[in-house]
């Protein structure tokens, strides 16, 4: 995918050099203006070399109410003597850490519950060319009443296993309708109707798309679910695919959720090892 190619280039160079975009355009037969359109739309892509310490202060609601403006002002004071190519400080929209405000990112590494002192130390490491990222803490086990499987891995994906064995697709749609499950995007569209419409489509090419972007200010529910209940996300997508006849799944995750991307990616790889994803899942013809 073009997005992945752009991401790989930026990870290598820190930005998107013109010569690399031209090469990508030639290799993929994608017009150069389309690559520029994608690169300019997403704020984390850079078309010019970044400063050594690129500090982005979240300016959305939760961080604003927890001192983000004062934090930005203090950082501007502390780095007032630096050149633009050394330090750049600016506001950004929600970083997805509303429960740990104020949040900032330095060279795309997020610092939660940031103070002027902790942000300064992180920026100084960037200026010295050192590793900016702090070690990620071990994920604490959280007891979630929403998880029907509880602790342990032995029963996870049991609903999917029973569904593949029974092939009771109509029962799933009936249960979705009885539960009045609806989409969370604002329109409240009935999930059972959506799945049924897709299932009845004759086109063999179908997709299950999970939107994990949650870019609305103050919204962090998806991050919690992906962190602590990744198996439910993946199982839900597989069940949707089995019922509707979709063969491909796409989980759209925001740039700021790098840790959650690792967790979800690990769960997907685990599902492949267990035979829950791929061709002929669970030794079936699905």
Q: Mean pLDDT throughout 58-75?
A: 96
CATH says 158-283 is which class?
alpha beta
- Answer for the pair 20, 58: CB distance below 8 angstroms, yes or no: no
Categorise residue 253: left if φ over 0, alpha if ψ from -120 to 50, beta otherwise.
Answer: beta
Q: What is the pLDDT at residue 216? A: 74
- Answer for the pair 130, 121: CB distance below 8 angstroms, yes or no: no
Measured distance CA(29)–CA(160) in Å, rounded: 40
Is it the case that residue 153 has pLDDT exceeding 80?
no
- Answer for the pair 278, 272: CB distance below 8 angstroms, yes or no: yes
pTM over 0.85: yes
Q: What is the pLDDT at residue 183? A: 84
Measured distance CA(233)–CA(251) in Å, rounded: 9
H helices within the chain, ranges in order?
2-13, 18-28, 32-41, 61-65, 68-78, 116-127, 158-166, 169-179, 191-200, 221-228, 230-244, 258-273
Rounded to the nearest integer, the mean pLDDT of the chain is 92
pLDDT, tens digit (0-9, with 9 covering 90-100), for 228-268: 999 999 999 999 999 999 999 999 998 889 899 999 999 99
CATH says 53-127 is which class?
alpha beta
Q: What is the pLDDT at residue 146? A: 84
Give me 186's structure tokens. Answer: 């604002």
Delimit the domains of the chain by residue range.
Answer: 2-41, 53-127, 158-283
- Answer for the pair 248, 208: CB distance below 8 angstroms, yes or no: yes
Confidence band (pLDDT; 50, 70, 90) for 110? very high
Give me 121's structure tokens. Answer: 């130390």
């Amino acid at each position: 995918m073009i997005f992945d190619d752009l991401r790989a280039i930026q990870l290598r160079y820190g930005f998107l050099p013109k010569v690399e975009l031209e090469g990508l355009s030639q290799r993929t037969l994608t017009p150069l203006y389309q690559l520029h359109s994608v690169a300019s739309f997403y704020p984390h892509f850079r078309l010019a070399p970044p400063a050594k310490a690129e500090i982005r202060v979240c300016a959305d609601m939760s961080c604003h109410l927890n001192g983000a403006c004062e934090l930005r002002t203090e950082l501007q004071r502390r780095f007032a003597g630096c050149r633009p190519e050394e330090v750049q400080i600016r506001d950004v929209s929600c970083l997805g850490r509303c429960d740990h405000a104020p949040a900032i990112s330095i060279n795309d590494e997020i610092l939660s519950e940031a103070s002027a002192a902790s942000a300064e130390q992180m920026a100084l490491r960037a200026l010295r060319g050192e590793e900016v990222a702090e070690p990620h803490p071990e994920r604490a086990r959280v007891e979630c009443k929403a998880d029907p499987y509880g602790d342990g891995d032995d029963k996870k994906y049991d609903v999917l296993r029973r569904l593949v064995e029974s092939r009771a697709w109509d029962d799933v749609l009936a249960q979705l309708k009885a539960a009045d499950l609806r989409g969370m995007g604002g329109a409240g569209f009935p999930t059972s109707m959506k799945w049924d419409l897709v299932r009845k489509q004759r086109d063999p090419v179908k997709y299950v798309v999970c939107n994990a972007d949650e870019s609305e200010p103050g919204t962090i529910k998806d991050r919690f679910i992906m962190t602590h209940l990744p198996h439910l996300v993946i199982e839900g997508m597989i069940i949707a695919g089995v019922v509707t006849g979709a063969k491909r799944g796409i989980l759209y995750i925001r740039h700021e959720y790098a840790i959650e991307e690792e967790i979800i990616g690990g769960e997907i790889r685990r599902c492949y090892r267990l035979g829950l994803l791929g061709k002929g899942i669970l030794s079936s013809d699905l």
